[in-house]
Amino acid sequence: MENNIIISRLSALRGKMSRLGIDCFLIPTADPHSSEYVAEHFQTRRFFSGFTGSSGTLAVGREKAGLWTDGRYFIQAEKELRGTGVDLYREGEEGVPTVPAWISRQLEDGGALGFDGRCVSVRTFRALRKVLSGRRIRFVTEYDPADGIWTDRPPRPANPVFVLEEKYAGESAAAKLGRVREAMRAEGAGIYVESKLDNLMWLLNLRGRDIACTPVALGFGVFTMERAVLFLQESACTDAVRAYAGGIGLELRPYDSVYSFLEDPSLYRASSGAASGEKEKVLRVLFQPGSLNCRLLAAIQRGQDRARSARLDEPELSQGAHTAHDSGRGTESEGPSGGAHKSAEKRSPCFAVEKRSPVEDFKAVKNAVELRNIRDCYREDSAAVCRFLYWLHCHVREGTIGSLTELDAAERMDALRAGIDDFVELSFGTISAYGANAAMMHYAAKPGDCARLRPEGMLLVDCGGQYLRGTTDVTRTMALGPVTQQMRRHYTLTAVGNLQLMDAVFLYGCTGRNVDILARQPLWNTFVDYKCGTGHGIGYLLSVHEGPQNIRWRFVGGLEEAVLEPGMIVSDEPGVYIEGEYGIRIETILEVVEAAKNGDGRFLRFSPLTLVPFDPALIDPQYLTPQTREALNRYHARVCAEISPLLLPAERDWLRAQTEPV
Amino acid sequence: MENNIIISRLSALRGKMSRLGIDCFLIPTADPHSSEYVAEHFQTRRFFSGFTGSSGTLAVGREKAGLWTDGRYFIQAEKELRGTGVDLYREGEEGVPTVPAWISRQLEDGGALGFDGRCVSVRTFRALRKVLSGRRIRFVTEYDPADGIWTDRPPRPANPVFVLEEKYAGESAAAKLGRVREAMRAEGAGIYVESKLDNLMWLLNLRGRDIACTPVALGFGVFTMERAVLFLQESACTDAVRAYAGGIGLELRPYDSVYSFLEDPSLYRASSGAASGEKEKVLRVLFQPGSLNCRLLAAIQRGQDRARSARLDEPELSQGAHTAHDSGRGTESEGPSGGAHKSAEKRSPCFAVEKRSPVEDFKAVKNAVELRNIRDCYREDSAAVCRFLYWLHCHVREGTIGSLTELDAAERMDALRAGIDDFVELSFGTISAYGANAAMMHYAAKPGDCARLRPEGMLLVDCGGQYLRGTTDVTRTMALGPVTQQMRRHYTLTAVGNLQLMDAVFLYGCTGRNVDILARQPLWNTFVDYKCGTGHGIGYLLSVHEGPQNIRWRFVGGLEEAVLEPGMIVSDEPGVYIEGEYGIRIETILEVVEAAKNGDGRFLRFSPLTLVPFDPALIDPQYLTPQTREALNRYHARVCAEISPLLLPAERDWLRAQTEPV
């Protein structure tokens, strides 16, 4: 059966492509800020393909169209793409072409590839360009594919921004900007462009509500040694925000004006005493190529070009000279031409420092105020999870567990969390996965399509909240009744991994790669692995996934390694996923703390922030080592001591029983 | 008191510098092959400084001179440099300038730095040039500082080369060359220059005796798609070697002619169908910048330049064009000018592929024949160590241990090893360190300056041999009588680390960095660290230290990380070093083997090659975990089963007792 809605949308898009002379259109799942989750307004990939998963890329040629997604979504995508004429490409499966390779085959030499330059990062564009090099492909980057076709498109979110008080943030925006400018100076950059929303919010102590579960507002920031300019949507700027901005010397400008602002040559002219060296004719721009969008880079290039031309008597000659001069550091900074009608324009490469934004590193190391808040916050969040587990326990005890669905459990958990004083919203959609559903790492129960609980097997709940005092994330897996011996063994090995990592002592200088094996070893010893990282960083009232630190055994595909610093927060979440049978994940959030300093070095360790018991019904003591048994008992004693005061008497009794020494 | 010998040598050197217009002379501990250990002939640093340690760098300015060495040698260097006028710089200590920084301060702008271009690698030169950039420093690289001054200099070693039969090597030189040429093709290189001796020997199935403890001959290799040229000293070429070379089409040329050979433009002219792309005018050269010496690079540059000039009508113009064309890949390949009188010559950058030699990767993965030989060899070598331990045990039992010195013990060990059939030589000077001496990781007992053993505390012996069936390395630490509780605790924690690594299971793709923490964790948990890597690769009748694999928690200073592959061999040598008190090291050599393959991936593990018991008198069972206790007992059972048949009855009884289950 044909899906006429999608067919007609694609037909409209192809008509538009034909008018614009575009042979293939690339439509990723992205907003102009390289956000992990994107607002409804930016769901053009979903609009044109009908595929509703959170992650995927659509490419539309004159005749063929393809959608790429990963293993989480193969079954769903197959169902949703049926009758659309869009072919499903299963990422990572053998023989499946990559998006650039497929596009390359669709295009004739000299053809035109279209994409919205705001929704493709410089890094992604370069990967594409590399595959297409030597083919004389034109890049047409100034059209939004949905314009004029998606008539009932939700408006761009533009919710009011609010200021995060210093009692929560722990450091003023001015102080943070001072640190950023120091980093700019060290890199020889005179301008810093930030488009990643969590970085921007952290730096300016602002928060928004434009993306579900991530309290950020759409915006861009441009910073020089003298100026700080924030580009926000009109309706996001409350009086309070205007007053705050005025107080700290932050210029507010309209969101969409960032592009023309960056094209202004005066921005790049070094004032005396600027950071750039004397030889340089324009200020060097610091940006992160993995998050800066192509249109921003094009605007920077145009602005720098104009600054060079305006400064010299013989623009043609001087431009050539600059190209040669800059090529050492700047060659890589070439973006797409910026639009079909511009493709003939010759532009010098951008004069840039391309690297991880200094804010990524700053915001990962929580300050003393943030840490105090976070510790309190995790205690209350953990108490809510304990109360949820007690509620489940009561249903099991009373034989009523079968009356509940996965969604009922998720709703109960969410309601308990919402009851916490400074709760803002969930930090992601609660995962409540029963039985075989838990084998899918990112399973989402839906009304009308979710499992009913039964008094046997295991329920996995992965959830978290956004609070003024921080962002939480926690996973526990619990028995709802009888379980198999293999389930207990796998649960215990997962617990041992979780505890071994939690208990690690390591020298300063270690990254997540050094310690990852402590979480995997019990499973690897039995030839079992989980196909994901062991841990990720977590924001402060920001993204539940944040870098640069990561606990993984290898780093591929642009993932960066970072040294573990005291004040960083990481998750510790080993698991076992047996397709069609069950899934186990135990996720405990850890804070990096100092342990000892002596002649042998500076030793660090972890301290758990999450204080929720493991399920003793799933622990098989024969797989514990004396150390992990001791670590489990120590952890449980702390859980009992710190969480009991936050519980009702019956819950407290239950917690005491759950945390009895093994 | 003044050291007049050194003073007069330095004075002669300064006179020579003055005549040659050199302001500062750099004299590293190096031969033209970046060998780890260098022959007597190349000990110019020792000659001019009087410092006899194995590692150090001397720099001589017009007035000042400095010697840099590491922590192993601070005390010795201080003693030996007294009265020489040479200042000691303790590497790694706070406030100590680096060699390049010191040299930079000695030189005025436009000054001249001298060094023997044969004894400085391209990588070292570039690091130096970076620090001196913008100073208009001239590099004078064609003089050997000792020429005309070191009158009783030992001749360059030139011992006969021998062919390693295929029953030992397991693969013909022709097959190895085929693999190298495949790698050259993949890299787009038409020429491959190898100057690292172990790589060259491995590739051609040759061995020599020019460097103590490393069975290599001085030589260079130049390989194209059609030719294989080996540069050897006349007296190294036996008739057997000539016949062998003739048989496999290997051209033999005089050792010193490699430089003029590389300057010959005809070498770089691509024949039709060569690996290089059509756009390229000369063949691209593959080399390893960390081992290629500067003079070789200068010769390559000269040869390529001539090839370019000869090919084109307008050499001046074309040369400029080539510079621009090559700069993408070749800019980095600029070497020093090649001599004072050449410093005005303008030369294009070398057209090169600079990367780890393919031979490094090939030779690290032992083939089936090598592995069978190695396993046998380690069994016999381990038996010799067991017999040594039994001999010590007898001395302890009979109360005669006090009659022995560290050297007596070393000699006994060496004699037992020399008794093995295919023994060639030691793989390094045996370390026999008693008590506090063992806290120095590289302690060397000397006649007249070595400790007498006593019936208490611990003796550390680190030793190994070169055999036709492989190269061995092993360390054991044993009690000679009563020991403190802390010694037993530290020994047991070291043993636990050794066993945890030995027992590791890991996914294919892991490097030594992923597994290092398994060896360190028991020590890190008590805030103790050993200041060195956990493990290194080992050659086959070659260097006892070989890459590219390494077990370390971090990789600094040009160290490379490599994936652990089945067939690789690594050491596992955690330790505890308490200055002034004692040292513990347990070194077991491991082979990487397949463990399992399933839906979760391809799992590898280690299998021990070294089969020598730990000292049960030093094991405190309270620090073992059930797993490590089981691993220890399993290891000991294997030691007993495999080594007993190689021992005499009394030794066998002793081994049975030593390997009783704990």
User: How distant is the Cα of B534 from the closest Cα of chain A, in angstroms?
Assistant: 13
pLDDT band (50, 70, 90) for residue B350: confident
Q: Which residue of B has its CA nearest to A532?
A: B600
Six-digit token string for B264: 């010959």
Q: Which positions in chain B touch A506 (Cβ < 8 Å)?
A: 517, 524
Summarised one tens digit per residue, pLDDT across range A473-488 is 999 999 999 999 999 9
Q: Supply the pLDDT for residue B552.
A: 95
Tokens of B517: 């923490």
The chain B residue lying nearest A579, using CA atoms, is B599
Tell me the one-letter amino acid at B480. Answer: L
Contact A527 B627 (CB under 8 A): no
Average pLDDT over residues A579-597: 97
Contacts of A621 in chain B (CB under 8 A): none
Residue B345 has pLDDT above 80, yes or no: no
Amino acid sitting at position A537? G
For A58-117, write each residue's pLDDT tens digit.
999 999 999 999 877 888 899 999 999 999 999 878 889 999 999 999 999 999 999 999
Residue showing tokens 């002669």: B12
Nearest to B507 among A504, A518, A529 (CB): A529
Q: Give me the residue from A504, A514, A516 closest to B553, CB to CB.
A: A514
The pLDDT of A433-454, averaged and rounded, is 91
Is A601 within 8 Å of chain B by CB? Answer: yes
CB spacing of A528 vs B600 below 8 angstroms: yes
For the cut 70, the answer to whether the pLDDT of residue B643 exceeds it is yes
Tokens of B257: 């002619």
% of residues, chain B, pLDDT over 70: 92
Q: What pLDDT, on a 0 to 100 scale, did the predictor assign at position A89?
A: 96
Note the pLDDT of residue B532: 87
Q: Which of A514, A527, A598 sits opposite B516 (nearest CB)?
A: A514
| Beta carbons of B600 and A529 less than 8 Å apart | yes
On the question of pLDDT at A603 being above 80, the answer is yes
Check residues B344 and A172 and name the one with the higher pLDDT.
A172
Closest alpha carbon within chain B to A577: B600
What's the confidence (pLDDT) of residue B349? 67
Tokens found for residue A59: 């490419």
Q: Residue B638 pLDDT more than 90?
A: yes
Task: Return the number of other C-beta atoms located less than 10 Å from residue B164's C-beta.
Answer: 20
Chosen from B133, B441, B505, B524 to mutate, greatest number of chain A CBs within 10 A: B524
**CB-side exposure of A547: number of CA atoms within 13 Å?**
18
Distance CA B330, CA B287 (A): 12
pLDDT tens digits along B566-587: 999 999 999 999 989 999 999 9
- B477 forms beta bridges with B460
Pick among B525, B564, B627 to test the A interface (most A CBs inside 10 A): B525
CA torsion, points B14, B17, B22, B26, in degrees to nearest 10?
-70
CA separation for the pair A173, A248 (Å, rounded): 8
Is B216 in contact with B201 (CB distance < 8 Å)? yes
* Interface probe, candidates B441, B600, B603, chain A, greatest A C-beta count within 10 A: B600
Cα atoms in the Cβ-side hemisphere of radius 13 Å centred on A314: 5
Share of chain A above pLDDT 90, in %: 84
Q: Looking at beta carbons, which residues of chain B come within 8 Å of A553?
A: 507, 509-510, 514
Q: Does B600 touch chain A (CB under 8 A)?
A: yes
* Selection from B270, B261, B325 nearest residue B295 by Cα: B261
Q: Does residue A347 register a pLDDT over 60?
A: no
Contacts of A627 in chain B (CB under 8 A): 625
pLDDT computed for residue B348 by the predictor: 61
User: What are the tens digits of pLDDT across the range B464-481?
Assistant: 999 999 999 999 999 999
Q: Are A410 and A445 in contact (CB under 8 A)?
A: yes
Q: Is A446 on the interface with B (CB under 8 A)?
A: no
* A333-342, A356-365, A639-648, B505-514: least confident range: A333-342
pLDDT, tens digit (0-9, with 9 covering 90-100), for A257-269: 999 999 999 999 8
pLDDT digits (tens, 9 = 90+) for B249-289: 999 999 999 999 999 999 998 764 444 444 447 899 999 99
Average pLDDT of the residues of chain A: 91
**Looking at chain A, which residue has its C-alpha nearest residue B594?**
A527
Q: What is the pLDDT of residue B583?
A: 96
Residues 6+ apart with CB under 8 A from B151: none
Kindly write down the DSSP assignment for every residue of B218-237, as one continuous string: -EEEEEESS-EEEEE-GGG-
* Preferred mutation among A514, A556, A606 to probe B, highest tally of B CBs within 10 A: A514
Residues of B in contact with A595 (CB under 8 A): 527
Tokens of residue B271, six digits? 């024949």
At residue A362, the pLDDT reads 98
Q: Is B278 on the interface with A (CB under 8 A)?
A: no
- Collapse the DSSP code of A529 into the 3-class scheme (helix H, G, I; strand E, B; otherwise coil) and give the result: coil
Residue B491 has φ and ψ, to the nearest 5°, of: -65, -45
Distance from CA of B389 to the nearest CA of A (A): 31
Cα B229 vs. chain centroid, distance in angstroms?
A: 24
pLDDT interval class at A311 (50, 70, 90): low
Q: Which residue of B has its CA nearest to A515?
A: B517
Q: Which pLDDT does position B555 carry in this prediction?
A: 83
Cα radius of gyration rounded to whole Å, chain B: 26
- The answer, yes or no, to whether residue A338 has pLDDT greater than 50, is no
Query: In this complex, is the C-beta atom of B513 within 8 Å of any C-beta atom belonging to chain A?
Result: yes
Q: Give the pLDDT band (50/70/90) at residue B330.
A: very low
Q: By percentage, how much of chain A surpasses pLDDT 70?
A: 92
- Using a CB-CB distance cutoff of 8 angstroms, which residues of chain A are in contact with residue B596? 527
Q: What is the DSSP letter of B616?
A: G
Cβ pair B517:A517 closer than 8 A: yes
A600/B contact by beta carbon, under 8 A: yes
B52-95 pLDDT, tens digit per residue, is 988 999 999 999 999 999 877 888 899 999 999 999 999 878 89
Contacts of B627 by beta carbon, 8 Å cutoff, 6+ apart: A625, B500, B503
A507 to B524: CB separation less than 8 angstroms, yes or no: yes
Mean pLDDT of B445-451: 90
Q: Would the pLDDT of B344 be above 70?
A: no
Helical ranges in A88-208 per DSSP H: 99-106, 122-132, 166-169, 173-187, 197-204
pLDDT for res A74? 85
Contact B514 A517 (CB under 8 A): yes
Interface check A495 vs B, CB under 8 A? no
Average pLDDT over residues B97-117: 96
Q: Is it the case that residue B318 has pLDDT exceeding 50?
A: no
Mean pLDDT, residues A346-358 taken together: 80
Model confidence at B544: pLDDT above 90 = yes
pLDDT in tens, A17-69: 999 999 999 999 999 999 988 999 999 999 999 999 889 999 999 999 999 99
pLDDT tens per residue across span A385-430: 999 999 999 999 999 999 999 999 999 999 999 999 999 999 999 9
- B473: which 2 tokens? 């390395």
Residue A116 backbone phi and psi in degrees, to 5:
-75, 110
Q: Distance, in angstroms, between B91 CA and closest chain A CA?
A: 17
Residue B48, SS3?
helix
Using a CB–CB cutoff of 8 Å, tell me whether A272 touches chain B: no
Tell me the C-alpha distance between B281 and B327, whole Å: 14
Three-class secondary structure of residue B100 per DSSP: helix
Say if residue B559's pLDDT is above 70. yes
What is the value of ipTM here, to two decimals?
Answer: 0.88
Report the C-alpha gap between A407 and A386 in whole angstroms.
18
The pLDDT of residue B316 is 29
A-chain residues near B527 (CB < 8 A): 505, 595-596, 598, 600, 603
Give the minimum alpha-carbon distance from A111 to chain B in angstroms, rounded to a whole number: 26
